[in-house]
Chain A
């Protein structure tokens, strides 16, 4: 039959497995040409049908044979090409790598270090009320002390985006009896224009330790140990007078960077008796210290980043480096 010749020549011309498959569908599939032939003979006499049927079956077998042979031929060609030579210096097929944000890595590291010193990690809400953010922390109303932290207020009265994670200390002290050691990581917000070292949102880590008796000496030990573990070397840490309404005495903590310059890194102090009273603790029975530092700032020192805005830019070129 002409059909056989046609099929054979088309199969010969096939160059790829894909082409071959298309031809197979054309001829051998359920709705292919060969099955069509079976349908067409339905109208013939029984004897004719038997004869034709046998012919068509033969054609089918031969066609299948052609396909098999051609397939083996094409596959041999491919494997031949593949067996010969591979350029091992070409890049491999890489699986897409994911990345964890540098601030996450720093936060996790800080949390680990403090956990090993016996501090629990506690979290709190980002929207606070004025009471916990300022009043309970001994910020006098209508006083320049509140200006140190420019506040983002909600339209709702007396509610704001927390300016520091300190409110969580008060919340925690209200619900948990001392002695206690906690660190509070979290996002905080300031009503400030953004530039290389200022952002409208950033991360802080606050710490609080309340005991029957604990002193500035204990605090120095904790903070020194923290910086040593964080940077993996002995860090020069210095303490000088500062001011926070919620601590008295208050300190500023500087660390000496690798270039020898002192960098302001943390604020701290002994918890102010008013704060203890506001948290329903008796200052005669308990004393302690609190400290806080900016995670963004710490990350910028650690990774040598000069622009805080990069942390919130979602720029893959930046994030892919971590």
Chain B
């Protein structure tokens, strides 16, 4: 919000500090001055007025009041004296009816006759333009001027343009009827609804209350009799209407923050006086002032010991009292430790003792609050186990050559449609107000965006290895861990990396099995379920060509995805250390011919379970694909079976016996044949 330095100076007899210093003071005690621009002989301060200070700081008087409290300078708001015409009363020619009393707490109206609508005097034009408000004519400009000065939005209507009896027009403040239309001063048409407040004449709306005036009763060059409106509207209603119609104005901004209803009366007199000065005219006697439910000052009790304890400073009662007085708060009662204050209604943000403590803190200056470490050092808290493992996993993956990435939590509508076609049961969480079609759904897997990462990098890098730990969104939000390798690589490379990974985590029984459920990412037959302790923790596989095509990826991609929580539940804290045996080992080789789709893992399992404790290791050393022209496709797998006992040296006989058992068990399956 823009404020003029010269205008602020008008409120003070004493010379204000230079604009930079003033901006600095305001920033350190009140609000941030985002920009300071020189404009001919004036300086414009662009102040970021936050929602809690909008009611009082959206005006030059409000900022001047702040400056007065910070510097201790006396300030005086300008006065606008005028005299009323005694012959006709406002009440004789205008009737106000407030139908929506809960949405309009106060409505003041005045009438000025015989005004000369013309361009504004230079000083007025300059003042409002420096604050970013366009000059229209002297009536409208005067209303805007007083708004910028006091914070009270004002409006003027052309009396003659109102529909109704010639001698006594009426203004009705009511909710719009559904479908009621209005054309605003900017020639824009709006269709209104039942929860939009309007200012209306006997028939039609003449303004969207508190937001924008209608073209119908616009002040034009030939306007002679004007109605001045100075009112107070319910903030929530104005906020909602403004959002719904996508129409935000200087007026709506202020009303949305619930301004002080006691401003309305002052402001209407000020604007009347100003208009008479620059446009002439006769002010009809009396103000129509509808204000049944008055707003009274808050009375707040503040305990000074609590104040000192919250701020952590030993501030004297005198200092505190001075700060409150400089801010315009009245001390009703005071004792050694307690003050009772009456808060003027222009400070709508002061409601509880903590609000008063903030006033003292900021005027005193936060820079004057020290930072000595008076809290005792506590015992170190328990570590967050989840994050400890996240950290460990990151380090492991880095060691295995993976680059960690952070992708977006969203996928596009195209991706959503594509994956829903691949899996009709896929349910996606949709955003209600996405920024673009790129962020329509929440990601159901980390792999989608990891694939996008491959698309991006494939041109410049021939090998890509990424991992990500992040939340995915299916029926529930879950933390997952996924990775991909792409380029000159193969399935077994990824599997090898995962095997190293699990070993490092001390997980010894990780089993890779056929994927039982339909998983949409993988090339048929080229994926595995990762299981441990009888629980499925994730998948790995080759990403299907169809998906690579969708993402425009020209190199092979292998990926894995693991449920982080399930993984954590199964990680053993430490390696199980197995003492090496002092007794010699014996190696026996064995070859088995099996159908093509039999997994090596199955055979190995059988060997282990038959041989028991004395089998230390089983390793595959050869895979031989039989003649491809044969009808039944078979393959021959050769294993080293390493026998070793922890208790003694095994005799040939003992080993032979077990070996025979193994062969027997393997051949229990009619399709399997052992070769010697």
Contact = CB atoms under 8 A, between A and B. Distances in A.
Given A104-B394, A152-B434, A241 B378 contact: no
A315 B457 contact: yes
A141 B313 CA distance: 35
Given A217-B372, A312-B406, A118 B377 contact: yes
Contact of A249 (B27, B357, B432, B463): B357
B433 A316 contact: no
B51 interface: yes
- What size tier do the contact residues of chain B reach? 35 or more
B465 A273 contact: no
Interface stretch (B97-105, B360-368, B589-597, B628-636): B360-368
A135 interface: no
Interface string A121-160: 1110111000000000000011111011001111110000
Nearest to A199: B408
Interface stretch (B233-241, B281-289, B329-337): B233-241
A317 interface: yes
A243 B52 contact: yes
Contacts of B457: 314-316
A96 B463 contact: yes
Interface in A141-191: 141-145, 147-148, 151-156, 161, 181, 187, 189, 191
A145 B457 CA distance: 42
A201 to B, nearest CB: 6
B547 to A, nearest CB: 17
B403 A99 contact: yes
A27 interface: no
Say which size band chain A's interface belongs to: 35 or more
B197 to A, nearest CB: 14
B384 to A, nearest CB: 4
Contacts of A317: 460
B369 A216 contact: yes
Contacts of B378: 118, 181
A43 B165 CA distance: 133
B393 to A, nearest CB: 10
B374 A152 contact: no
A312 B408 CA distance: 7
A125 B442 CA distance: 14
Contacts of B354: 248-249, 270, 272-273
Nearest to B27: A240
Contact of B403 (A98, A152, A161, A220): A98
B51 A144 contact: yes
A294 to B, nearest CB: 14
A144 B256 contact: yes
Contacts of B439: 200
B51 A243 contact: yes
Interface stretch (A1-9, A10-18, A54-62, A108-116): A108-116
Contacts of A248: 352, 354-355, 357-358
A149 to B, nearest CB: 12
A103 interface: yes
A143 B256 contact: yes
Contact of B384 (A120, A192, A211, A221): A120
A117 B434 CA distance: 40
A250 interface: yes
Interface in B340-390: 352, 354-355, 357-358, 361-362, 366-367, 369-375, 377-384, 386-387
B374 A217 contact: yes
Interface centre among B381, B387, B460 (most CB of A within 10 A): B381
Interface in A219-277: 220-225, 238-243, 248-252, 270, 272-273
Interface of A: 95-101, 103-104, 108, 111, 115-123, 125-127, 141-145, 147-148, 151-156, 161, 181, 187, 189, 191-193, 200-201, 211, 213-218, 220-225, 238-243, 248-252, 270, 272-273, 287, 311-317, 319-320
25 contacts: A99-B403, A108-B391, A115-B381, A118-B379, A120-B381, A121-B384, A126-B477, A142-B240, A154-B442, A156-B429, A187-B471, A191-B435, A193-B435, A201-B409, A216-B361, A217-B371, A217-B374, A218-B373, A220-B369, A221-B371, A221-B372, A249-B358, A314-B449, A314-B452, A319-B405
Given A104-B404, A217-B374, A320-B403, 18 more contacts: A96-B401, A98-B399, A101-B406, A111-B387, A118-B378, A120-B384, A123-B386, A127-B477, A142-B235, A144-B257, A222-B375, A224-B371, A225-B373, A238-B367, A241-B358, A241-B366, A248-B354, A316-B457
6 nearest A-B pairs in the assembled complex, by CB-CB distance: A215-B312, A217-B312, A220-B371, A249-B358, A118-B378, A98-B398
Interface of B: 27-32, 50-54, 235-236, 239-240, 253, 256-257, 309-313, 352, 354-355, 357-358, 361-362, 366-367, 369-375, 377-384, 386-387, 391, 394-395, 397-410, 429-435, 439, 442, 449-450, 452-453, 456-457, 460-461, 463-466, 470-471, 473, 477
